Structures are given as structure tokens and as C-alpha cells.
Amino acid sequence: MTEARLREQICTFARSLFERGLTPGSSGNISARLPEGGWLMTPTDASMGFLDPARISKLDTAGHLVSGDKPTKEIPLHTALYDTRHGAGAVVHLHSTHSVAVSMLPEIDPQDVLPPLTPYYLMRVGQTALVPYHRPGDPAVATAIRGLAGKYSAVLLANHGPVVAGKSLEAAVYAMEELEETAKLFLLLRGLNPRALSSAQIADLSATFNLDLPVAHQHGDDHG
């Protein structure tokens, strides 16, 4: 994909996410790896609904700004995922309501935030980890993500929002949408003892779609 096309794609997906209320105001950011090295990133304090392809920040392989507006302050967050998820071609970070809400719940498992409610959550996201709260832009967030050793493509930042890496921008966006919908389902069903996927069903999905799940699911076993 050419750089020009990738710039347009970032703006198209960002606007779609914004228009559906998945990241309000000037929150959220997107990055994508360039074929020749370096990244394109959305600028700081820019609304995802009104990005200009020509003003997208371009960074070299050392993370220095080459052209465009000043990049998001979340560069350490993005680079931590690229460094540990070696196949990642894009990273999406949003402040989507339901995922943020889940990140605040005291009872969630930091190693496996959401139960396996649907096959597409497992197929597109896999599993999601939670990292403790740090202020936005704090390098400690990147340190926490590096501590996950690349096992997770999706991470919830406590009281902040989700971050998802994907092989392509399209894959990262679709996984982010699946994560948010699963968080919404989880909150809607909270306290209702829903029937999650069983261990056998998870094993079938893992074998069929070659899923690499970081930890063994426990949620589905209680419900058969």
C-alpha cells in the first residue's frame, strides 16, 4: 500500500469510529507502519472525525517527526506494541465508553479481562489484558505493555481506554470494534449469569482458526 493510500485509509477509518461515538472530542489515536520503515500517526489534539491526510504525522524509524503536525503524545504506547507484537502493522487507541467502563471494574482479571462471549471476540481479539492506570503519555504505560511480552494484541488501560494492534489497519480497527461490542455485551449481561463459550467450543475455535490465546479461559467452564 502506498503512503498516500495509507493516509487516506487512516482518515476514513478514524472518521467512521468518530461518527459512531467510539472516541469523543479529540480523544484517540491511530498509527500505521510504513512499508519503507517508520510510521504514520494521527496528530496530537486532533479530532478523529476531521483529519487531513496531508497533516498526518510522519515519523522515521527512530520515532522522530519527519513531516506533518506534531504527533500524538501516546507515541511510547504505540511503539511498545510495535516492538513486542512484531507482526503489527497498525495500532488503534480509543476512549470508547464500554471498554473504559470495564477497565474500572474491581473484579476483572488483569490477564483475561472479558469472558469468551462470542466466537468473533476470540477470532479477532483473542484475549485482553489490563494495565494499571498511568497518566496519558506517561512512558510507564509503555513499560507496562512491554511487560506483557507481546502475548496480547489488545490491552485495556485502566480508567483510560483500549489499545489494539493488528496486522493491518483494517484488522486493528475491526478488532477494536469487536472488543468494544464485547465490553458492551459484558456490561449488559453483568449479574445475569450469561452462558459463555465452553472449553470445548474455545478449543474448536482455536484449532480451526489457529488462535494463540495467552492464558487458559476459565469463564466458559462454569456455564457448560
Residue 224 has pLDDT above 60, yes or no: no
Mean pLDDT of 163-192: 97
Give the pLDDT confidence score for residue 222 in this predicted structure.
Answer: 45
Residue 168 has pLDDT above 70, yes or no: yes
> Considering only CA atoms, which of 141, 52, 134, 140 is closest in space to residue 91?
141
Q: How far apart are CA 199 and CA 37, in angstroms?
A: 41
Q: Among 82, 120, 133, 152, which one carries the catalytic annotation?
A: 120
Give the pLDDT confidence score for residue 217 in this predicted structure.
Answer: 64
Reading the block at residue 82, the C-alpha cell is 510495535
47-78 per-position pLDDT tens digit: 999 999 999 999 999 889 999 999 999 999 99
Structural domain spans, the chain: 3-193
- CA 59 to chain CA centroid, Å, is 20
CB 146 within 8 A of CB 84: yes
Residue 189 has pLDDT above 60, yes or no: yes
What is the dotted CATH code of the domain comprising 3-193? 3.40.225.10
> Considering only CA atoms, which of 211, 187, 223 is closest in space to residue 119?
211
Give the pLDDT confidence score for residue 218 in this predicted structure.
Answer: 57
Please state, as a whole number, how many other Cβ atoms lie within 10 Å of the Cβ of residue 109.
15
Give the pLDDT confidence score for residue 70 in this predicted structure.
Answer: 95
Give the pLDDT confidence score for residue 214 in this predicted structure.
Answer: 87
Residue 179 has pLDDT above 90, yes or no: yes
Residue 223 has pLDDT above 60, yes or no: no
133 noted as active-site residue: no
Q: How far apart are CA 72 and CA 182, in angstroms?
A: 27
**Burial letters 32-70, b for 16+ CB under 10 A, else e:** bbbeeebbbbbbbebbbbebebeebbbbeeeeeeeebbe
Residue 43 has pLDDT above 50, yes or no: yes
**Side chain identity at residue 151, one-letter code:** K
Mean pLDDT of 94-108: 97
DSSP assigned state of 112 = B
User: Which pTM was predicted?
Assistant: 0.94
Q: Give bridge partners of residue 131 from the DSSP assignment.
A: 157
Task: Place 212 in a pLDDT band, splitting at 50, 70 and 90.
Answer: confident
